[in-house]
């Protein structure tokens, strides 16, 4: 059975999965040291490793185990693997990379010589959607922000229709930044987060883990706050995503 290794971060793991599926699937081993022994991770990451750790593993593992092309998900313990998914980082700095916007999903495919992915095709399953009494799922992290005015003129819309998913501190910052209130729905793991996103009519957010999940589900309508200086989540031709 084929084995795959990834050192994170969380969203990067989600964008790697189409490559894993096209390569035949198998066992995904996650490096909770965040690539401390990976030269490419040390080179590219400010802290010489990603943020991925044991807590990240416990959060994302239930969602990954729901994917039929992953036969097992476990902690990497130094063993040799068939495919090191951290190779996508080489494409981030490759001027000849196929994805000129550094689209993370395509960087993985390019790294392993695989064909491009249909931007409207999902690659995640999550079971039954969770339908809340709010129709708009919102997730906005402090990084990769680009369009304050778009949000502030719609703050009453988010107050009346939105539910915030993500970290408590991110929720606090959203309310502070836009001088509004929005309910926060904590999720115990990534599988529950995916089910909440799947059950909403619209997802609004910047380049967060929740955005990666929304894109990977395939059917979710998305408004993405795209950072133009680092547009790694731009999907040319995706019909159900609007960029702001």
Structure tokens at 216: 């990977």
Phi-psi group of 131: left, alpha or beta (phi > 0 → left; psi -120 to 50 → alpha; rest → beta): beta
φ, ψ at 222 (rounded to 5°)? -135, 140
* Tens-place pLDDT, residues 150-206: 999 999 999 999 999 999 999 999 999 999 999 999 999 999 999 999 999 999 999
Residue ranges of domains in the chain:
3-111, 136-243
Whether this prediction's pTM lies above 0.85 is answered by yes
* Tens-place pLDDT, residues 53-111: 999 999 999 999 999 999 999 999 999 999 999 999 999 889 889 988 889 999 999 99
Q: What CATH class has 136-243?
A: alpha beta
Instruction: Identify the DSSP state of 142.
Output: S
């Amino acid at each position: 059975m084929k084995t795959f290794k990834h050192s994170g971060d969380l969203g990067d793991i989600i964008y790697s999965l189409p490559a894993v599926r096209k390569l035949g699937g198998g066992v995904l081993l996650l490096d909770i040291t965040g690539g401390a022994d990976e030269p490419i991770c040390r080179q590219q990451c400010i802290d010489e490793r990603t943020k991925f750790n044991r807590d990240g593993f416990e959060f994302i593992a239930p969602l990954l185990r729901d994917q039929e092309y992953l036969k097992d998900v476990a902690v990497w313990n130094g063993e040799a693997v068939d495919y090191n998914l951290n190779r996508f980082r080489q494409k981030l700095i490759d001027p000849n990379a196929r994805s000129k916007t550094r689209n993370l999903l395509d960087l993985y495919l390019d790294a392993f010589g695989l064909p491009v992915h249909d931007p409207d095709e999902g690659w995640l399953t999550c079971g039954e959607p969770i339908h809340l009494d709010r129709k708009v799922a919102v997730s906005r992290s402090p990084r990769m922000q680009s369009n304050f005015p778009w949000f502030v003129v719609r703050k009453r819309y988010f107050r009346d229709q939105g539910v915030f998913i993500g970290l408590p501190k991110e929720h606090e910052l959203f309310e502070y930044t836009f001088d509004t209130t929005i309910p926060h729905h904590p999720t115990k793991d990534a599988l529950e987060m995916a089910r909440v996103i799947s059950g909403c009519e619209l997802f609004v957010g910047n380049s967060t883990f929740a955005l990666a999940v929304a894109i990977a589900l395939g059917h979710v309508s998305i408004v993405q706050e795209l950072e133009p200086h680092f547009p790694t989540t731009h999907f040319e031709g995706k019909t159900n995503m609007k960029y702001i």
